[in-house]
Amino acid sequence: MSKILIAEDEPALLDSYCELIASLGHEPIPALDGDEAIQLARRHVPDLVVTDYMMPHRDGIAVVDALRRDPALADVPVIMLSAGRPPAREASEAFVFLPKPVTLRRFESAVQDGLRGARGTAPPPVGTATAPGARSPVTLAREQMLSWVAHEIKSPISAAIMACELTSRGLATGEDPANLEKRLVVLRRQLRRMDELATSILDAAQLQDGRLRLDLEPVDLHDLVGRVTANWRDLYPDHDFSLVDGRDVVVDGDPERLRQILDNLISNAVKYGTPGRRVRIAVTAGEHSVGVSVTDEGRGIPTSELPHIFDRFHRVAGQGGRGHGLGLYISAQLARLHGGTIKVESELGRGSAFTLVLPRR
C-alpha cells in the first residue's frame, strides 16, 4: 500500500480525492494547507504528493520547494492541480500538472503515473501553462485578475464535477444511499458558491457605479436574524451557532440586502473561525441604533490589515487567499446605503467580531 499526501484547501475536494485514493488501495494523508502538507510529509514520507497550486500559508510551488530541500523527500513525485494558469517554469516543477476541473479517470491515471514515477519511470509531458517572458504591470495585473476569477469559479466547479462523478459511480455500484446523499449536499453547496460569486461580481459593479438601489420597508430584525441563523445551522450542523436575540427591534431596510450582509459576515466566521467552530450572533438595541454582531473564535486579523478590510478584492494576509475578497466590501457598501456601518474588532489568536450598526426606525 502506497502513502499519498493530498494538499487541498477546498474540504469537499479534499474528501473526494481521499475517497478516490482509498478506492485505489492506497493510504490517503489529507492536508488543508501548505504548512500542514510539509509537516505531514516529513512525518510520513509519502510515496506521492498531490497538491493544489493556490493554498493557504504556502502555495503548491512553496510545497515543492520545501520537499526538494529535504533529502528524505527530494525524490517524491508531485502532482500539481490548479484552477489558474501558473507560469510554465512553475508548472514544470511538478511531475504532472493537471488543470482543474479534473475528471475521475484523469485523476486516477495521474496518480498511477505518479506512483510509477516514484519507482523510477520517466514522467509524462507536463500540462499546458502560460509562457514565460517579460510582462508589463498592466499585463501582470490582468493575469492576476484572470487567475483570481478562474480560481474562484473553477474550485467549486471542480468539487461539483467530482461529486457528480462519484455519485454516478456509486449509483452504478449500489453504494450506500447515505454516501450518495452526502455528495448531493456537496453538489448543492458548490452550486450555491458559484451563484454567490456571480451575484457578488454583479453587485460590486453596481455599487461601484452607484446603480444599486434598495427596496426599503419595515424589517423586524428578530425575525430576520432568526431565519438567517436557522439557515446556517442547517447548512453547517457541525458548527455551534448561538443566537442572543433582541426583541421588538424594527429598522427601515431592504430585507434581502440585510440578509446578504448577515450571510457574508456569518460566512466569514465559518471560514476563519476554526478550530472552535463556534459562531455567536447577537442583536443589541440602543436608543437610536441597533447592532447585529457576528463573533468567531478564529485566528483573528492583524492590526495592520484592519484599515483595508473593507476594500474591494482585499484578502487578509496569512489566510491563504481564501474567499473572493468582495463579501466585506459589498457588506460595508450596503450598510452605508442603509445609513449604517460595519465595525470590526479583532485580536490575533482570539477571533474577530463584525457588527452591523443600523439606525432604529
Q: What is the DSSP letter of 162?
A: H
Per-residue confidence (pLDDT) for residue 321, from 0 to 100: 45
Query: Domain residue spans in the chain?
Result: 1-212, 217-359
Q: Which CATH number fits domain 217-359: 3.30.565.10, 3.30.830.10, 3.40.630.10, 3.40.50.410?
A: 3.30.565.10
On whether the CB atoms of residues 260 and 342 are closer than 8 A, the answer is: no
Name 293's bridge partners. 282, 355
Domains 1-212 and 217-359 share a fold: no
Q: How many CB atoms lie within 10 A of CB 66?
A: 17
Per-residue confidence (pLDDT) for residue 85, from 0 to 100: 62
Per the listing, cell 427596496 goes with 215
Rounded Cα–Cα distance for residues 354 and 279 (Å)? 11
Provide the residue-wise pLDDT of the chain in tens; the chain has 361 residues.
Answer: 899 999 988 888 888 899 889 989 999 999 988 899 999 999 999 999 999 887 767 888 889 999 999 999 999 999 988 876 666 666 566 777 888 888 888 899 999 988 887 666 544 444 444 444 555 554 554 555 556 566 677 778 888 888 888 888 888 888 888 888 888 888 888 888 788 777 777 787 788 778 888 899 999 998 999 999 999 998 888 889 999 876 778 899 999 999 999 999 998 898 877 666 889 999 998 888 999 999 998 888 888 787 878 876 655 554 444 555 678 888 999 999 999 999 999 888 888 999 999 998 7
Rounded Cα–Cα distance for residues 109 and 165 (Å)? 15
Chain CA centroid to CA 70, Å: 29
Rounded Cα–Cα distance for residues 80 and 34 (Å)? 12
Per the listing, cell 490548479 goes with 82
Rounded Cα–Cα distance for residues 87 and 225 (Å)? 46
Domain 1-212 has CATH 3.40.50.2300: yes
**pTM for the whole structure:** 0.60
Q: How many CA atoms lie within 13 A of 208 on its CB side?
A: 11
